Amino acid sequence: MYTARPNKQSGNAMVYVLIVVALFAAITFVLSRQTDSTETDALSDERAEILASNIQQSAMSLKQSVEQMIWTGTSIDDLDFSTPDDGAAYDAGSLGDKVFHPAGGNVILPRIPDAAINQTDTNPPARWYIGRFNNIDWTPTAANDVVLAAFQLNEAVCRRLNLRLVGDETIPALAGNANRLLITSSETAPDPGNINLTPVECADCEGVPAMCVSSTDTNGRTQYTFYSIVAAQ
């Protein structure tokens, strides 16, 4: 009986086919990982843009409400920033002067999204701050201005804010930890002797009504703060 011998060429060809299939699968995997990485980066940029827009719109909405209050007769010095968290003080006094009271400005300031925050210190914590804490040097007078600040933001969101506001994503660095001058009174600021935000602290901030800046906290960690001059005087 004749028995056919295995065809070595046919067997070798099959091995080559398997090698090609394996190489093709490996290349496809690598390309898909690269594509996924590119898409993730794009989504990250898109997310930062959305968060920056959210913060900017919140600041603009509050500023418009405060301007309306001033237009209808509330003095800048009489603006009251009590919130329901302040207990009895929220419903005491002249309700028409209260920015966050229904009888006043009726402002609802949305919380900063968690994804927009990079908290390096809980004292004070990352959140919105608003008040007449200090004077911005380049406003008309030496009186304290009303400033809104989003404290301890994510760097990517900070860059996006500056790109939207001033056309450049560069983040100016404040001298020392002067960003606390944007969120606290002179009595609790790191440098009680300097109650103003001046070009000494931030030369690039001069004349800019809203911007995101960086500073180094007492532990050497970088913090990012978005400020908006709500009412200058």
Question: What tens digit of pLDDT does each residue of 6-31 get?
Answer: 555 555 555 554 554 555 555 444 44
Q: What residues contact residue 218 under an 8 Å CB cut-off, 6+ apart?
A: 177, 190
pLDDT confidence of residue 159: 95
Residue 78 has pLDDT above 60, yes or no: yes
d(CA 69, CA 72): 5
Distance CA 54, CA 57 (A): 5
Q: Is the pLDDT of residue 122 over 80?
A: yes
pLDDT at 224: 94
Residues 39, 45, 46, 51, Cα dihedral to 10°: 150
* Mean pLDDT, rounded, for 107-112: 92
Average pLDDT over residues 114-131: 91
- Mean pLDDT score of the chain, rounded to an integer? 81
Q: What is the DSSP letter of 114?
A: G
Q: Are 230 and 63 in contact (CB under 8 A)?
A: yes
Residue 151 backbone dihedrals phi, psi, to 5 degrees? -95, 135
User: Which long-range CB contacts under 8 A does 11-17 form with residues at least 24 apart?
Assistant: none
CA dist 231 → 15, 42, 62, 183, 184 (Å): 77, 37, 11, 15, 16
- Mean pLDDT, residues 154-175 taken together: 94
Q: Count the Cβ atoms, other than its own, within 10 Å of residue 168.
A: 11
pLDDT at 168: 95
Residue 177 confidence class, pLDDT cut points 50, 70, 90: low
Pair type for strands 222-231 and 196-197: unpaired
| Rg, C-alpha atoms of the chain | 28
Residue 131 CA to residue 105 CA, distance in Å, equals 15
Cβ(213)–Cβ(172) under 8 Å?
Answer: yes
